[in-house]
Amino acid sequence: MAMMDVPLNSWLIFENAPKHAAGTEIVSQTGPDTLHRYTYADFGKRTQQLMHALDRLGLEPQDRVATLAWNGYRHLECYFAIPCTERVLHTLNLRLSPEDLTYIIGHADDRVILADPDLLPILEKIGEGLKSVKTVVVLGDSVPDHSLSTDVVAYEDLIADESESYPRPDIDEQTPLGICYTSGTTGRPKAAVYTHRSNYLHTIMASSGAGLSIGPSDCTLPIVPMFHANAWGIPFAATAVGAKQVFAGAHLDPKTVVDLLTNEAVTVSAGVPTIWMMVADELATRDTKPPALRHLVCGGSQPPRALMERYVNEFGIPFVQAWGMTETSPLASIAWPKHKMRDWSDEQLTDNVRTRAGLPVPGVEVTLRDESGNGVPWDGTSLGNLFVRGPFIIDSYLKGDGAEQFTEDGWFATGDVAIGDPDGYFVIADRTKDLIKSGGEWISSVDMEGAIMAMPGVDEAAVVAIPDEKWQERPLACVVVREGASVTVDDVKAHLEGRGWARWQLPDRVEIIEAIPKTGVGKFDKKVLRSQFG
Catalytic position from the list 134, 262, 309, 442 = 442
User: What domains appear along the chain, each with residue ranges and CATH number?
Assistant: 10-252 (3.40.50.12780), 366-432 (2.30.38.10), 435-533 (3.30.300.30)
Give the pLDDT score at 184: 57
Active site residue 135: no
Q: What is the pLDDT of residue 230?
A: 97
Between the two ends of the chain, the Cα-to-Cα distance in Å is: 65
Cβ contacts of 532 within 8 Å, gap of 6 or more = none
Which of 186, 314, 437, 497 is catalytic? The answer is 437
Predicted confidence at residue 440, as pLDDT, reads: 66
504 catalytic, yes or no? no
**pLDDT given at position 430:** 79
Catalytic residue among 77, 86, 327, 460: 327
209: nearest Cα among 376, 334, 86: 334
| 30 to 37, 166, 182, 430: CA distances (angstroms) | 10, 28, 28, 38
Give the C-alpha separation, 137 to 153, whole Å.
5
Q: Is 215 helix (H, G, I), strand (E, B) or coil?
A: coil
Contacts of 113 by beta carbon, 8 Å cutoff, 6+ apart: 65, 66, 67, 68, 92, 105, 123, 130, 133, 135, 136, 137
Pairing of strands 426-431, 458-468: unpaired
For this structure, is 411 an active site residue? no
State residue 186's pLDDT score: 54
d(CA 346, CA 138): 48
pTM of the model: 0.87
Q: What does the DSSP 8-state code read for residue 396?
A: S
Burial level of 295, CB count in 10 A (0-12/13-18/19+)?
A: middle
pLDDT at position 444 is 82
327 catalytic? Reply is: yes
Active-site choice (85, 182, 267, 519): 182
What whole-number distance in Å separates Cα of residue 308 and Cα of residue 296? 10
Per-residue confidence in pLDDT tens, the chain, 534 aa: 788 899 999 999 999 999 999 999 999 999 999 999 999 999 999 999 999 999 999 999 999 999 999 999 999 999 999 999 999 999 999 988 898 899 999 999 999 999 999 999 999 999 888 999 999 999 999 999 999 999 999 999 999 999 999 999 999 999 999 999 987 555 688 999 999 999 999 999 999 999 999 999 999 999 999 999 999 999 999 999 999 999 999 999 999 999 999 999 999 999 998 899 999 999 999 988 999 999 999 998 888 888 999 999 999 999 999 999 999 999 999 999 999 999 999 999 999 999 999 999 999 999 999 999 999 999 999 999 999 999 999 999 999 999 999 998 899 999 999 999 999 999 998 777 787 878 767 788 888 888 899 898 899 999 998 888 778 789 999 999 988 888 888 999 899 988 888 788 899 889 999 999 987 777 788 888 888 887
